[in-house]
Structure 1
């Protein structure tokens, strides 16, 4: 969309239509535990209630002293310095704003308009608070889609109503998300411990996690399940903590007995994690045990074949091998991407699930972006 938006003029909603929207979205928000999903629902509810073209939900990043939105219709994440722009002014002052013409106000930051070709005209911003009355973010709607092409006090009342409910619901979801993030950090750190003992770098597990997430989405998993796999995949080699250094880091060729010891890390990892009541650790147990199984049944530890191997194991196998081949190590150079592609084509239906390999090639540009972003300078 470029230039001035093409406006589809709509009529203001009747009280009955408003109630329907409110009941529909409040029920959905109450039943949702994913932070991103709640933010999407909040943005959609605000947009529909006041008939705006776009709606964003802004949150405060205290660490970076920024305001950010991951949910803004039509654009990706936006970050602005705390206190800047309409939303910053509204949050700092704790007051809503109604702007009829953004370009006549010095607080308007036109950078996003310039980058996207969008034209911001009318704006409404409403801060929302947690249960203690502290401002934790703000609603911001852009461009009224009715004959009256600016927001009114009625819109302010409606968006304030949405903000009052959604802000308090958001707090509990953010607390839940903080717990999940803490678990993810602990799991990632535990995964790094296993890799460091085998002379891998911490970024190996980070890359495997990101690759697994992309592949999971490509396989049709919903975001929450893909997030679960991203969280647990760093634990795939946790069983290496129990493998003796003399075997784990032997420079020469392993004997058959030594190779059996190495292979036991899959069973050890599974045994370490399987007894947990936590879904995260039970899922990590699956990945730890099955990421060395092969589609044709020639993997280990159990020789599972085809779909007998859990999809989490099949995805992590591709992610792990891709990273192992494409990263430089003291004992080997990085493989060129063409050589990796050829191997994966050859191993499609042998080592790897054909469907996962098809997604791998489909998502390869994104995987290479991740590899570049998470390149470890220690990998020489």
Structure 2
């Protein structure tokens, strides 16, 4: 193998100078350290690896232990790829813990040419470097393809540099993966709690899914960030968690509630709030607001506190529209589902009375998307 080495003064025609290398490392490690999104971290890592060794493409592979596969959601030029664990060059590196430098992929029996055939790309030279976690276990691997020069062949110095990138980024990757696992567990718990509240009143699981999706669309339409809209989507299914404390005779009554029964029913907002308000978790605090205020009305005639206008938290105002829209369009023990024209008429009539007028406008603008969600998560009889 022949290659030119970099001297201390600057770069040669095949690599970055030490100064350029340090700048790339510092720039990307700073970006990675500030990210909590796994996809964003993987993208930064792929870009860092590509820039450090001047690769045409760089991919970050992770291990799916449940499916016994390697997968990538961030690969330059392609969509997600999944391969059986242990196959291909990356499978070899992940299984053995050894980095690889291959000058001619097609002369090596470990090369999986199916990806090239599927994408129309021609792989020539490959580097793979495994990521090692804090406990010494392998969590994934870098893979760089084709040097950006006439030969398109990587050198041992490129391997050293990609190994350096892996050592800088691997610990951050593990941290973000752990954060995402915790967040996913928290989402599952929150959704399950929401379903418990709805099951008490014999709602289907799809009701909470629809309310969650509607809330997300309305939040984005209002101008909330994707992150905040996602958070509202996660907590909105908890709006009726307080129904766990309402007697079955009231929840399942097919006719109109008496005044005494209705006062009892209204307590579910307070109960839900009290269940959630003491948590130190951001999502639980957000859920407590939704549980407390989703029955307040813009004109002050709602419950439990008779708040009006913007004194009602935005999360409550959004969830109110999502919940009422789904309730009107669904069969309940006390009514049949309404037709779409009747639903739209009610929202127009209640604009500025029950509902935030600006949110009603957003609801009407986003109505086609909401209908798509309703169709995708329709109740199966």
**Which range, TM-score by smaller chain?**
0.7 to 0.9
The offset of 1:277, in angstroms, is 2.2
Is residue 2:66 matched to residue 1:63? Answer: yes
The offset of 1:285, in angstroms, is 0.6
Distance in 1, Cα, partners of 2:330 & 2:25: 51
The offset of 1:337, in angstroms, is 5.8
Is residue 2:158 matched to residue 1:159? Answer: no
Partner of 1:109: 114
Partner of 2:123: 121
Task: Rate the CA distance shift 1:214–1:70 in 2: closer, same or farther, 3 A.
Answer: farther
The gaps in structure 2 that reach 5 residues or longer are 1-12
> Following superposition of structure 1 onto structure 2, how do residues 282-361 of structure 1 map, counting pairs within 5 Å?
282-327=285-330, 344=347, 347=350, 349-353=352-356, 355-357=358-360, 360=363
TM-score if structure 2 supplies the norm length? Answer: 0.80
The offset of 1:210, in angstroms, is 3.7
Is residue 2:230 matched to residue 1:227? Answer: yes
Q: Deviations over 1:101-141 (max 9, x none)?
A: 66776513338x74xx6635344332211012211111233
Distance in 1, Cα, partners of 2:45 & 2:267: 48
> Following superposition of structure 1 onto structure 2, how do residues 1-380 of structure 1 map, counting pairs within 5 Å?
12-73=15-76, 75-98=78-101, 106-110=111-115, 114=118, 119-122=121-124, 123-327=126-330, 344=347, 347=350, 349-353=352-356, 355-357=358-360, 360=363, 367=370, 370-377=373-380, 380=381
Q: Deviations over 1:340-370 (max 9, x none)?
A: 5665566555544455456556666665555
Distance in 1, Cα, partners of 2:170 & 2:18: 23
Distance in 2, Cα, partners of 1:84 & 1:184: 33
Partner of 2:6: none
The offset of 1:332, in angstroms, is 5.6
| 2:252–2:333 CA contact under 8 A, matched in 1 | no
| 2:253–2:333 CA contact under 8 A, matched in 1 | no
Q: Which moved more, 1:22-31 or 1:342-351?
A: 342-351
Distance in 1, Cα, partners of 2:35 & 2:326: 34
Task: Rate the CA distance shift 1:220–1:86 in 2: closer, same or farther, 3 A.
Answer: farther
Q: Which moved more, 1:304-313 or 1:94-103?
A: 94-103
Tell me, what secondary structure is at the counterpart of 1:40?
helix
Task: Rate the CA distance shift 1:334–1:154 in 2: closer, same or farther, 3 A.
Answer: farther
Q: Alignment RMSD, CA only?
A: 3.4
Tell me, what secondary structure is at the counterpart of 2:59?
strand
| 2:256–2:334 CA contact under 8 A, matched in 1 | no
The offset of 1:162, in angstroms, is 1.4
Task: Rate the CA distance shift 1:78–1:371 in 2: closer, same or farther, 3 A.
Answer: farther
| 2:255–2:334 CA contact under 8 A, matched in 1 | no
Distance in 2, Cα, partners of 1:353 & 1:145: 56
Task: Rate the CA distance shift 1:90–1:278 in 2: closer, same or farther, 3 A.
Answer: same
| 2:58–2:76 CA contact under 8 A, matched in 1 | yes
Q: Deviations over 1:310-349 (max 9, x none)?
A: 2222332333234334455676665566665665566555
Task: Rate the CA distance shift 1:64–1:334 in 2: closer, same or farther, 3 A.
Answer: farther
The offset of 1:238, in angstroms, is 0.7
| 1:130–1:171 CA contact under 8 A, matched in 2 | yes
TM-score if structure 1 supplies the norm length? Answer: 0.81
Partner of 1:7: none
Tell me, what secondary structure is at the counterpart of 2:114?
coil
Task: Rate the CA distance shift 1:139–1:235 in 2: closer, same or farther, 3 A.
Answer: same
